Chain A
Amino acid sequence: MGYKLTPAGFGALLDELATNYQIFGPVRYAGKGRLAGTDLTTYGPVRSVSDLVWDARTTFAPKEVFFPVKESLLYFSGQEITEPSLEMKETLVFLRACDLNAVSRLDKIFLANGPEPDSYYARRRQHIHFVLMECQEGFPGCFCVSMGTNMATGHQAALRLENDHYLLQALAEPWIALGERYGQPARVEPVWVEKNPLTVRVPERVDIALFQHELWREYACRCIACGRCTLSCPTCSCFSVQDVIYRDNPERGERRRVWASCQIDGFTDMAGGHQVRADRGDRIRFKVLHKIYDFRRRFGINMCVGCGRCEEVCPEYISFARCVNTLNQLMEVQGRDA
């Protein structure tokens, strides 16, 4: 069902939703950007229509709404161990097509990878509902079309900002009822981005011989191991575990998991101090192959959804897209030579 809404109508709709849902979306925080005088656009609570940011990509991905940066796994007190309970309101997340596709990647890792689903993820995830924000043309560095993630499924509703009004495609309740109440019926067909300025060709197969290619040596010099590319990625799911002993009572404490990045020094350290991948070029190789090859071999789809964040946040201008395209060329050359 399609509806046309004025900003006021959509505002009233959100107000009603807010009584039953917590609502997250791209929000702009004035003056909170890294550099002086810049804003930070990222996921946060949406309190009114005007909070929703349409004209910029978020620096961080929506995953933090249901895969928290820090999560307590259990509390200990002496010998006693308790698992924290979770009471979570139904939650709406406004997001773009690439990011919605990324959720299916996270679902695979957390729910379909091990013998058991990850219960901490599962118990949050079941309360999460999505509203698609339609892209008109994407942002610099996006390559969703190349990754087939310019289209998405799994959302309750799709929203388009058109001039001075909103177009709503209601695919499930409560959106149909809300559309009836706050909008005018209208024909709304989904619109998908059909092309990006950036095209990425993912090689079908990556030969193990390329592991030693000089391409990675260049990255060893250029990468500063800051981790931004992975911490901003909507599909990265790595975490490390911290045991925190409370300062005021060493008998008590908690175990939590915290986001981690394979690009940061120390991530692969094992007991005894051996680093599995000390070399930064090797780490980039690991990351890139995971995103476009290893994950696909396991789950049948690429992990990367072409959101372009890693391109944009890298302070050293290291381009994931260029790396993948280079790999593809190398494989094509190999194919011809063979």
Chain B
Amino acid sequence: MSYNTKELIKNAYRITSQRGFTALRIRVPGGHLEASYLGLIQDIARRYGNGTVHLTTRQGFEIPGIPLDKVPEVNRLLAPLLEKEAALGVPIENFQAGYPAAGTRNVTACIGSRVCPFANFDTIALAQKIESLIYPNHYHVKIAITGCPNDCIKAHLQDIGIIGQVEPEYDPGRCIACQACVKNCRQFIVGALEMDNYQVQRDGKRCLGCGECILQCPMAAWTRGPRYYRIVALGRTGKKSPRLAATFLEWIDEKAVLQVIANLYRYIDRHIDRSLPKEHVGYIVDRTGYQVFKEELLEGVDLGPKGRVARELPFYGYSYDRNLYMEG
């Protein structure tokens, strides 16, 4: 058997624990798909795979048990899914050749405002926009998008996590001082609201922009102001040093978000250690230091009047050095 494993991996196939068989990963940008594609996935799994499908943590489908010699045939079947990618704006050269890259992972998203009332925006639409910006690409990057700081998509475990923000706007003339917003923010969020002389005061630097005060207010005294995004950066799992992402930028607009992501790829391109088979972006930053990362990611980015950037990324809270705290 002769197969180029590097090429297979770039084609979104895996080297699996079953010799001679592979598993195909199907991208679903934003984790949302017309149900009509399920027939195709079922068909591949039944005819070429072992009849099962795995739902991946990155919101794709993984079809295991495909004989390696069937890869070209399966790739031809993927044309409708690649056409869907192309419709998002992803440049696809050959619709018969399967996925053109797998390093940059599927962009995941929580269900967002199409379903979830907490969401501050349509996360799926942004995921699809970002997919067209960064795919195909071999650099190993994980991006996730979440509609509010509940972070149901676990943006804090990604290289780049994008969290929707909204600036709440207050009309004192409509506020009846019921305290619903104040109590809720104090009990469940960051306590950015205080009642003072029957008026609500918001501490803009504490406020997360989660929008819950808007949801709570029975008077529409709080309404939606402009939409913004917070970016949490450099979270990761893994065998070396897992950590939660930390806030890198906040209160920036969509244009700035897209620019920062484009800059991330340029940064990787400049600094990646090409002597290694692959280098994950988090480890590149471990080498260059945060200041270089920050400078290069912000090149040409207009943070706008409200935008804030982190001085440092405070990673703490988790350690693999278990000898520090385990008994025995």
CB contacts (< 8 Å) of B219 on chain A: these are: 60, 69, 231, 259
Q: Are A231 and B223 in contact (CB under 8 A)?
A: no
Partner among A37, A226, A242, A260 whose Cβ is within 8 Å of the Cβ of B113: A37
Q: Are A40 and B173 in contact (CB under 8 A)?
A: no
Give chain B interface residues in 177-229, CB to chain A under 8 Å. 177-178, 180, 197-198, 211, 214-216, 218-220, 223-224, 227
Binds A, one of B25-33, B116-124, B301-309: B116-124
Within the complex, the shortest CB–CB distance from B326 to chain A, in Å, comes to 45
CB contacts (< 8 Å) of A69 on chain B: these are: 173-176, 219
Give chain A interface residues in 210-232, CB to chain B under 8 Å. 226-228, 231
Residue A245 is within 8 A (CB to CB) of chain B in the complex: yes
The complex places the Cα of A199 from the Cα of B178 at a distance, in Å, of 33
Residue A42 is within 8 A (CB to CB) of chain B in the complex: yes
CB contacts (< 8 Å) of A258 on chain B: these are: 176-177, 198
Q: Please classify the interface of chain A as helix (H, G, I), strand (E, B), loop, or mixed, using the class held by over half of its residues.
A: loop
Q: Are A36 and B224 in contact (CB under 8 A)?
A: yes
Residue B245 is within 8 A (CB to CB) of chain A in the complex: no
Q: Are A37 and B178 in contact (CB under 8 A)?
A: no
Task: Report the tally of A-B residue pairs with Cβ distances under 8 A.
Answer: 68
Q: Are B197 and A261 in contact (CB under 8 A)?
A: no
Within the complex, the shortest CB–CB distance from A35 to chain B, in Å, comes to 5
Residue B166 is within 8 A (CB to CB) of chain A in the complex: yes
Q: Are B176 and A244 in contact (CB under 8 A)?
A: no
Within the complex, the shortest CB–CB distance from B22 to chain A, in Å, comes to 41
The complex places the Cα of A279 from the Cα of B144 at a distance, in Å, of 44
Q: Please classify the interface of chain B as helix (H, G, I), strand (E, B), loop, or mixed, using the class held by over half of its residues.
A: loop
The complex places the Cα of A56 from the Cα of B227 at a distance, in Å, of 25
CB contacts (< 8 Å) of A36 on chain B: these are: 113, 119-122, 147, 164, 166, 211, 224, 227
Residue A187 is within 8 A (CB to CB) of chain B in the complex: no
Q: Are B215 and A34 in contact (CB under 8 A)?
A: yes
Q: Are A260 and B176 in contact (CB under 8 A)?
A: yes
CB contacts (< 8 Å) of B223 on chain A: these are: 29, 32, 40
A35-52 CB mask vs B (1 if < 8 Å, else 0) is: 111001010000000000
Across the interface, name the chain B residue whose C-beta is closest to A259: B176
Across the interface, name the chain B residue whose C-beta is closest to A256: B198
Q: Are A40 and B220 in contact (CB under 8 A)?
A: yes
Within the complex, the shortest CB–CB distance from B124 to chain A, in Å, comes to 12
CB contacts (< 8 Å) of B166 on chain A: these are: 36
Give chain A interface residues in 250-281, CB to chain B under 8 Å. 258-261, 264
Within the complex, the shortest CB–CB distance from A232 to chain B, in Å, comes to 8
The complex places the Cα of A111 from the Cα of B175 at a distance, in Å, of 26
Q: Are B113 and A35 in contact (CB under 8 A)?
A: yes
Knowing A70-B173, A228-B218, A260-B176, the reply to whether A244 touches B197 (Cβ < 8 A) is: yes
Q: Are B218 and A37 in contact (CB under 8 A)?
A: no
CB contacts (< 8 Å) of B122 on chain A: these are: 36-37
Across the interface, name the chain B residue whose C-beta is closest to A239: B176
A158-192 CB mask vs B (1 if < 8 Å, else 0) is: 00000000000000000000000000000000000
Q: Interface residues of B, CB < 8 Å — how many?
A: 28
Partner among A31, A40, A231 whose Cβ is within 8 Å of the Cβ of B218: A231
Q: Interface residues of A, CB < 8 Å — how many?
A: 27
Within the complex, the shortest CB–CB distance from B224 to chain A, in Å, comes to 6
Across the interface, name the chain A residue whose C-beta is closest to B174: A69
Across the interface, name the chain A residue whose C-beta is closest to B164: A36
CB contacts (< 8 Å) of B215 on chain A: these are: 34-35
B87-125 CB mask vs A (1 if < 8 Å, else 0) is: 000000000000000000000000001000101111000
Residue A298 is within 8 A (CB to CB) of chain B in the complex: no
CB contacts (< 8 Å) of B119 on chain A: these are: 36
Across the interface, name the chain A residue whose C-beta is closest to B183: A265
The complex places the Cα of A264 from the Cα of B177 at a distance, in Å, of 11
Within the complex, the shortest CB–CB distance from A314 to chain B, in Å, comes to 10
The complex places the Cα of A209 from the Cα of B223 at a distance, in Å, of 43
CB contacts (< 8 Å) of A35 on chain B: these are: 113, 117, 215
Q: Are A34 and B214 in contact (CB under 8 A)?
A: yes
CB contacts (< 8 Å) of A59 on chain B: these are: 220
The complex places the Cα of A264 from the Cα of B218 at a distance, in Å, of 10
CB contacts (< 8 Å) of A231 on chain B: these are: 176, 218-219
Q: Are B220 and A32 in contact (CB under 8 A)?
A: yes
Within the complex, the shortest CB–CB distance from A44 to chain B, in Å, comes to 11
Within the complex, the shortest CB–CB distance from B170 to chain A, in Å, comes to 13
A51-64 CB mask vs B (1 if < 8 Å, else 0) is: 00000000110000
Give chain B interface residues in 116-158, CB to chain A under 8 Å. 117, 119-122, 147
Q: Are A227 and B178 in contact (CB under 8 A)?
A: yes
Across the interface, name the chain A residue whose C-beta is closest to B198: A242
The complex places the Cα of A60 from the Cα of B221 at a distance, in Å, of 12
Q: Are B220 and A31 in contact (CB under 8 A)?
A: no
Q: Are A244 and B214 in contact (CB under 8 A)?
A: no
Knowing A34-B214, A69-B173, A231-B219, the reply to whether A264 touches B178 (Cβ < 8 A) is: yes
The 7 closest A-B pairs by CB, nearest first: A36-B113, A228-B218, A32-B223, A227-B218, A259-B176, A242-B198, A231-B218
Please report B residues at the A interface, Cβ cutoff 8 Å.
Answer: 113, 117, 119-122, 147, 164, 166, 173-178, 180, 197-198, 211, 214-216, 218-220, 223-224, 227
Query: Would you give 23 A-B contacts (Cβ < 8 Å), ordered by A?
Result: A29-B223, A34-B214, A34-B215, A36-B120, A36-B122, A36-B147, A36-B164, A36-B166, A37-B121, A40-B223, A69-B174, A69-B175, A69-B219, A226-B216, A226-B218, A231-B218, A231-B219, A244-B197, A247-B197, A258-B177, A261-B176, A261-B178, A264-B218
Q: A35-B215, A36-B119, A258-B176 are in contact. List 12 more A-B contacts (CB 8 A).
A: A32-B220, A32-B224, A34-B214, A37-B122, A40-B223, A69-B173, A226-B216, A227-B218, A242-B177, A242-B198, A244-B197, A258-B198
